[in-house]
Structure formats: structure tokens, C-alpha cells
Amino acid sequence: MRRIFTIGGNEAECWLTHDGSCFVLNTPDGAVPCRLDPTGAPGGYRLRVRGLVRDIRLAVGHEATFVHMNGRAFEVGRVDPVERLAARAGAAGEDRLLAPMPGVVVSVAVKPGDAVTEGQPLLVIESMKLETTLTAPRDGVIAEMPFAVGDSFGLKAVLAQLAPQEE
């Protein structure tokens, strides 16, 4: 069975199989036997991959699996292949200005219908006690400015939407 994971921003693809005696993880680098056994501690497992043995703590979230290993916490994003195909067919990324971090809107410089040029300031946000000016990713026309001054938003919220580019 195929799975796509994201680790540290990079996508990695693998297949999990079972050869009748143990699981085998198949990656572009080759096939390795692996197993995962609970240790009894909450979320505690002993992970064996080829000759390596690691005692890890693990928690499965909605979109990612979280692993504490070697004294560090790692996030392994699970990519749904179906959703990813849908996203590719959808709106081009540069039509939307996504929040680089959660914050509050300090000021809004444009309104729907305004023509903007690449680099033009669209709004000022405040996160972590600092102001950041967000600018138009390309030339175009503002379709939507979903947040007003004083509104708070989460990470990756759409802060500005440009009308689709006409070919």
C-alpha cells in the first residue's frame, strides 16, 4: 500500500508490504524490514528498522503522526493522494495570500475590485508583537479581503484573494 509523507518540508513516498513474516518498508532507497512493538508507556513503542532499534513515543493526529525519537520531536505529515490531486487541479497558489503565521490584522490597504501590482502592500498584520506588511504576489485584481482591522486569523488563513488570471 502506497503512502506519501512529508518530513521537514520534503515529500517522501513509500510502500508498506508484508512478506508473510514481517513488514517491509519500500522506498526509492530500497526495501527494509521493520516492526513496531508497544512498550507499555503511553504512546511508547520500540521501533526496529533493519538493524536499528529506537525507543520512541508516538501519537497519531488527524493529518500528521508525531514521533519523539533521539530526544527530539518530529512531525510526519500524511498526504492523502486523492486530496493532493484535487488541490493541484484547483486554484493556483499565487491567487491567494496565506497567513505566514497566526496574528491580528492591523490595517488593510485595498478593497475588492482594486487593481494591484506585484509587491504592492495589501495589509499589515501583527504577530508575535511585530508588524509585517504583506504584499501582492502578482499583478491582478483583488477578489476578496476576508479580514477586517482587528480580526485575528490562524496560520495559513487566506488573507487576500486575487481574481483568477485571465489567459
Partner 1 sequence: MSINKLLVANRGEIAARVVRTARAIGIRTAVLRHPAEIEAPAHLIADEVVMIEGVTPVAAYLDIPQIVAAAKKIGADAVHPGYGFLSENAGFVAALEEAGVTFVGPTSEVIDLMGDKVRARAFVEARGFPVAPSAIEDDDPTTFVERARTLGYPLLIKPSAGGGGKGMRIVREDSTLKAEIETARREGQRYFGDGRLFVERFIERPRHIEVQVMGDGQGNVVHFWERECSIQRRFQKIIEETPSPALSPEQRQDICKTAAGIARAVNYRGAGTVEFIYAPDGAFYFLEMNTRLQVEHPVTEMVTGFDLVAEQLRIAAGEPLGLQQDDIGQTGHSIELRICAEDAAADFRPAIGDILLLDEPQGEGIRVDSGILDGGKVTADFDPMLSKLIVHGADRAQAIARAREAVQNYVILGVTTNTGYLDAILAHPDFASGEVSTGFLAEQADVLTAPGEDVSGLLMAAAALSDERLVAEVMQIPEMHRRMGGWRN
100 is a contact residue toward partner 1 (CB under 8 A): yes
In this complex, which beta carbon is closest to partner 1, that of residue 69 or of residue 110?
69
Q: How far apart, in whole angstroms, are the C-alpha atoms of residue 164 and residue 167?
A: 9
Touching partner 1, residues 12-31 (CB under 8 A): 12, 14, 16-20, 23-25, 27, 29, 31
Q: Which is nearer to partner 1, 34 or 141 (CB)?
A: 34
CA distance 130 to 114: 27
Cα–Cα dist 122/143, whole Å: 12
> 3-class DSSP state for residue 60?
strand
Residue 127 vs 161, nearer CB to partner 1: 127
Closer residue to partner 1 in complex, CB, 35/84: 35
59 in contact with partner 1 (CB under 8 A): yes
Using an 8 Å Cβ cutoff, are 79 and 4 in contact?
yes
CB proximity list for 80: less than 8 A, separation 6 or greater:
none
Among 57, 109, 121, 163, binds partner 1 (CB under 8 A): 57
Among 85, 87, 149, 155, binds partner 1 (CB under 8 A): 155
Tell me how long the chain is.
167
CB of 75 to partner 1, least distance (A): 7
* Binding-site member from 5, 98, 109, 143 for partner 1 (CB under 8 A): 5
* 89: three-class secondary structure by DSSP: helix
